[in-house]
Amino acid sequence: MLLAIDIGNSSAKFGVYDRAELLKTFNVPAALKTDASSLKNIIRSSLVEPIDAVAVSSVVPEFTRIISGVTEELFGIRTTLIDSRCDLGIEIMYDPPAAVGTDRIVAASAAVTRYGAPVIVCDIGTATTIDAIDAAKRYLGGTIIPGPRTMAASLEKGTSQLPEIDIRKPENVVGNSTETSIRSGIFWGSVGIVEGIVARMKAELGGSPKVIATGGWAETVAAETNCIDIVEKDLVLRGIAEAFYRNS
């Protein structure tokens, strides 16, 4: 029984795997990333399954150290770190390979395993990454842009009179107030960015790549565009689990 952990900027997502079967998931907010006591309580209360292994993919090193210490204390198991040095079933062309976010390459690996190559992976969250894997199963890289909430926070911090607002689908594209104008710009801007980059990436890749979306905003954006073929919310967790089993 494997506990797979995806440590991102906004939260840490946990998934319990029995080989290929995902049994459950739960999240820990980023606000608790330095609170070992709270982490321990959340993990302990969320699990009834006996855990035999722990594998972590992380883009937040300081959180990795704390959560690894907590899981080792709870389960008596050394944490396996999944990164670019592992066999992921894809060739990483990024320069250097160690610089690419582990969440990006494990998601790419899982997408290739499930849907074949070429494939495009859109992870729409705190940051939105759109990555390309060619027909030879080579991870080529991609694009990194701010996610919807990051755009909203940036406007609020970088301007003197624009408020931070909640982001949701607006009633109209044309906003008739500052709040609705910001909401429309960020929401439809995010959709348009994904559509534009995916179209250009498909032309660059050639063939007929499937487009897989994951991340907290994946379902919202996918509902407003035809450029996304499949939404798989647990793609990164699946990639972590597959990498662990492949390398062990």
The catalytic site residues sit at 103
Quick one: residue 236, left, alpha or beta (phi over 0 = left, psi -120 to 50 = alpha)? Answer: alpha
Ranges assigned E (strand) in the chain: 2-7, 11-18, 21-29, 53-58, 80-81, 91-92, 119-124, 127-133, 138-146, 210-214, 230-231
The token duo for 213 is 């979306």
Contact 131, 194 (CB under 8 A): no
